[in-house]
Amino acid sequence: MTRDGTAAPLIQARGLRKTYPAKVRGGEGFQAVAGIDFHVDRGEAFGFLGPNGAGKSSTMRMLGCVSPPTGGDLRILGMDPRRDGRRIRARLGVVPQDDVLDPDLSVRENLLMYGIYFGLPRRVVRERAGRLLDFAQLEDKAEEKLGSLSGGMRRRLTIARSLINEPDILLLDEPTTGLDPQARHVLWDRLFRLKQQGVTLLLTTHYMDEAEQLCDRLVVMDKGLIADEGSPQELIQRHSTREVLELRFPIEEHEQAAGKLSALVRADVGERVEVLPDRVLVYTPDGEATLAVVTAAQMVPVTALVRRSTLEDVFLRLAGRSLTD
Ligand X SMILES: Nc1ncnc2c1ncn2[C@@H]1O[C@H](COP(=O)(O)OP(=O)(O)OP(=O)(O)O)[C@@H](O)[C@H]1O
Rule CB under 6 A: choose which of 30, 68, 90, 302 binds ligand X.
30
CB of 208 to ligand X, least distance (A): 14
**Given 9, 50, 152, 232, the residue binding ligand X (CB under 6 A):** 50
The site for ligand X, by CB under 6 A, has a size of: 13
Nearer to ligand X, 220 or 265 (CB): 220
Task: Name the minimum Å distance from CB 186 to ligand X.
Answer: 22
Closest distance to ligand X from the beta carbon of 57 (Å): 3
Within residues 1-20, the interface with ligand X by CB under 6 A covers 20
> What is the Cβ-side half-sphere exposure of residue 75, based on CA atoms within 13 angstroms?
11
Please give the radius of gyration of the chain, using alpha carbons only, rounded to the nearest integer: 23
User: What's the closest the beta carbon of residue 221 comes to ligand X, in angstroms?
Assistant: 7
For residues 154 and 206, which CB has a smaller minimum distance to ligand X in the complex? 206
- Helix, coil or strand: residue 49: strand
For ligand X, give the closer residue by CB, 36 or 294: 36
Question: Of residues 199-228, which lie at the interface with ligand X (CB under 6 A)?
Answer: 204, 206
Nearer to ligand X, 98 or 288 (CB): 98
Q: Is the four-CA dihedral 266, 267, 272, 275 of positive or negative sign?
A: positive
Site for ligand X in 107-126 (CB under 6 A): none
Residue 58 vs 290, nearer CB to ligand X:
58
Q: Which stretch binds ligand X (CB under 6 A): 56-64, 111-119, 235-243, 282-290?
A: 56-64
CA neighbours closer than 13 Å in the CB half-sphere of residue 66:
13
* Among 287, 291, 309, 308, CA closest to 300: 291
User: How is the beta sheet containing 303-308 ordered, strand by strand?
Assistant: 272-275, 280-284, 243-248, 303-308
Q: Across the strands, what pairs with 303?
A: 248
**Binding residue for ligand X (CB under 6 A) from 9, 49, 58, 160?**
58
> What three-state secondary structure class fits 43?
coil
Q: Angle at CA 322, nearest 5°, toward 316 and 323?
A: 105
* Residue 34 β-bridge partners: 17
- Is the Cβ–Cβ distance between 48 and 225 less than 8 Å? no
User: Which residue, 56 or 128, has its beta carbon nearer to ligand X?
Assistant: 56
Q: Note whether 52 and 33 are within 8 A (CB).
A: no
Contacts of 248 (CB under 8 A, 6+ apart): 278, 279, 280, 301, 302, 303, 304
Of residues 151-210, which lie at the interface with ligand X (CB under 6 A)?
A: 204, 206
Q: How far is the CB of 58 from ligand X (least distance, A)?
A: 3
Q: Is 53 in the site for ligand X (CB under 6 A)?
A: yes
Going by DSSP bridges, is the β-strand pair 243-248/225-230 parallel, antiparallel, or unpaired? Answer: unpaired
Q: Which stretch binds ligand X (CB under 6 A): 36-44, 49-57, 124-132, 252-260?
A: 49-57
Burial class (CB in 10 A: 0-12, 13-18, 19+), 7: exposed
Smallest gap from residue 306 Cβ to ligand X (A): 31
Cβ nearer to ligand X, comparing 204 with 284: 204
What is the binding site for ligand X (CB under 6 A)? 20, 30, 32, 50, 52-58, 204, 206
